[in-house]
Amino acid sequence: MNKEENILKDVVGIGNAMVDILAPADEAFLAKHNMPKGGMTLVESPQAAVIYEAMGPGVEMSGGSVGNTMAGLASLGGTGSYIGKVHNDQLGGIFHHDLESLGITFRTAPALDSSPTARCLVIVTPDGQRSMATYLGACVELGPEDVGADTIRNHRVTYLEGYLWDAPLAKEAMLKAAKLAHDAGRQVALTLSDPFCVDRHRESFRDLILNHVDILFANEQEIISLYREENVHAALERGRGDCNLVAVTRSAEGSLIATSDMVHQVNAVSVERVVDTTGAGDLYAAGFLFGITHGYDIATSGRIGAIAAGEIISHVGARPEADLQELVRRTL
């Protein structure tokens, strides 16, 4: 490593910056508000207001897929930055605080007079599953001007969220970031985010992956949907043809990580009680990216991902409660 490589940070994440509002409700609530169970639905402001009014008392915490990953990376002892758009309001202040207080640099200029900070209304059904309605608010203002060339160059990996693809300006920001990263000899990672998101963008996601992505994160359902294959192994074959590294999470069955010449199988970390599975994929990505940016081999990086995912599913919420660095030290 030369001197420049030494001062690089690990990961710069680009994502939809939002605050989660969690409340319990039954299946009838989901049906009434057209929220597919286990999925994420985009809603406009009036619909978000209707759903929120119908929800019981909530608990608020910072969220967003890549935001969760960056919080996990920091807890593991990694370094990084976040690019995302909040409004200059109280929820934006909370989101900003919750990353900066972990040491993640978050300097994207907030929107001043547009829509408020995004929120994700999270309905937790009695079976512990989460169904989400997201109002993107200020997120749709994230654009290429928010992606600084120096920031991208100064991080080993640029990590992108599939959800960004829903907003035209954010899409441009993603493409700009990917190009800057490759021009500087850095790596680009992408998470497919959500099966519904894959459904919305199948063709353009395939182009994006083929042309701009080195490391792809997906769960089984997402990658099968992306390539319209019969099973995860066939889909993984397709994926490894499109990029260097594909990591597929499979809940209790652990994960599969494919490179051009090998498929690693990594076991899940057993958890006393699965409380809330949301954030499992986000934290797996945190652990895996921490691993590969800290000199661990691919299988060990997957194992770190499994440890981080195991912590997140053992409590409510998608931000780590335990010190993940300590947990990895004890468990690895």
Binding site for a copy of itself (CB under 8 A): 21, 52-53, 55-62, 71, 89-91, 94, 97-99, 101-102, 116, 317, 319
* Minimum distance of a copy of itself from residue 67's CB (angstroms): 10
* Minimum distance of a copy of itself from residue 266's CB (angstroms): 28
Residues in CB range of 57: below 8 A, 6 or more apart: 23
Q: CA geometry: angle at 197 spanning 195 and 198, to 5°?
A: 65
> Which residues share a beta bridge with 265?
256
Report the sign of the C-alpha dihedral through residues 204, 181, 300, 304, in that order: negative
Specify the residue, 94 or 149, whose C-beta has the smaller distance to a copy of itself. 94
Specify the residue, 65 or 158, whose C-beta has the smaller distance to a copy of itself. 65
* Minimum distance of a copy of itself from residue 227's CB (angstroms): 37
Read off φ and ψ for residue 174, nearest 5 degrees.
Answer: -60, -45
- Bridging pattern class, strands 18-24 and 59-62: antiparallel
Specify the residue, 44 or 150, whose C-beta has the smaller distance to a copy of itself. 44
* Minimum distance of a copy of itself from residue 57's CB (angstroms): 4
- Bridging pattern class, strands 130-135 and 118-124: antiparallel
Cβ(11)–Cβ(157) under 8 Å?
A: yes
> Which residues share a beta bridge with 249?
219, 255
Specify the residue, 7 or 28, whose C-beta has the smaller distance to a copy of itself. 28
Which DSSP state fits 129? -
Specify the residue, 124 or 234, whose C-beta has the smaller distance to a copy of itself. 124
* Minimum distance of a copy of itself from residue 54's CB (angstroms): 8
* Minimum distance of a copy of itself from residue 19's CB (angstroms): 8
Cβ(43)–Cβ(143) under 8 Å?
A: no
Tokens of 274: 């699965």
Specify the residue, 23 or 263, whose C-beta has the smaller distance to a copy of itself. 23
